Each structure stands twice: as structure tokens, then as C-alpha cells.
Amino acid sequence: MPTFRIYYAEIESKGPEPHVYTARAYAAPSEYTSRTEWEDEIDAEDPVRALDLFFREHAPDRHRIAVVDEDGEAHPFEGWDFDPDATYIWTETALGGGDGDHRMLEYQGIDEATPGMVTCPLCNGHGEVDQDTAAEFDEVWGEDDEEEEPA
């Protein structure tokens, strides 16, 4: 069964009203928003099924999902099949948060993963390398939690 990498971003508000989001927040980054990019790997028969499984985990209440049209306007998602080429936004309850503590996310795309390959740590996740190359990169450029003692 193929593995798909689904790319998405969390849009974080840093403005005077940190929990107020608009449908256009994803399209108009400003000093009041920041983005954290994420990716999930899903095993599925095809990209549509992979997106269905992804959204079952991230937005089981489909009323929280909107599809964004070419003009940047968000509309409630209606239907059953996801379009891998569409832009979706949704909200999730933040970990440890209450009902009013939501985070806004944006689906950015999907790629089929090549067996035996991992996400490239150098190209910000939009490419693949073999596991040895990724481990070598991590050895050279990875962050060390321990600082060396002066001799």
C-alpha cells in the first residue's frame, strides 16, 4: 500500500486578539501571524483516501473544515471526497485547551512517498533522500542538547 506525505501548516495568531482567526489569515501573513509547517504520513490506496484518513484524525467533525476557492474565500466543506489539489483550512482544539482554545490549520499538499526514502531535512520537507543521507545530515547539522565542556 502506498504511503502519502500530507503537508499542512498551523497559523498562529500573535495579534491583540490571539484566538480570533479569519478565513484569509492563511493568505495574508503579517506581523500578527506565524506559520509552523507539519507533515503526516498516511498509508492509503490513493491520495483521496489518504486525505480522508488524515481529516478523520485532524478534523473528525467535518463542520470545522472549509475549502478555499480561487478568490481566497472559504466555504464550508460539503461532500465526501477530498480534492488533493484544493486548499482546505480547519480548526483543531489545542492540546490541553478548552472549547474556546482552537488553532487554525491549512492543508498545503500531498505527495506519494517513495519506499525506503525519508523526508529531506535540508529542503524543508519537500523532497526525499535515503535514510543514510538523512542520518548523516543530522549528525553534522543536528542540534546537540548537550554543550561540550571546555578542556
pLDDT digits over 3-45, tens only?
999 999 998 876 655 444 444 555 555 666 778 889 899 999 9
* 63 vs 52: CA distance, rounded Å: 14
- Does the residue 135 lie in any domain? no
The single-letter code of the amino acid at 46 is D
Structural domain harbouring 84: 3-113
Task: Please state the pTM of the whole predicted model.
Answer: 0.69
pLDDT of residue 126: 59
- Does the residue 95 lie in any domain? yes
In sequence order, what are the residues at sequence separation of 6 or more whose Cβ sits closer than 8 angstroms to the Cβ of residue 61?
none
Q: How many domains are there within the chain? A: 1
- Does the residue 150 lie in any domain? no
List, for the chain, all residue ranges whose pLDDT scores fall below the cut of 70: 14-32, 94-101, 115-138, 141-151
pLDDT of residue 19: 47
Lookup: cell for 62? 467535518
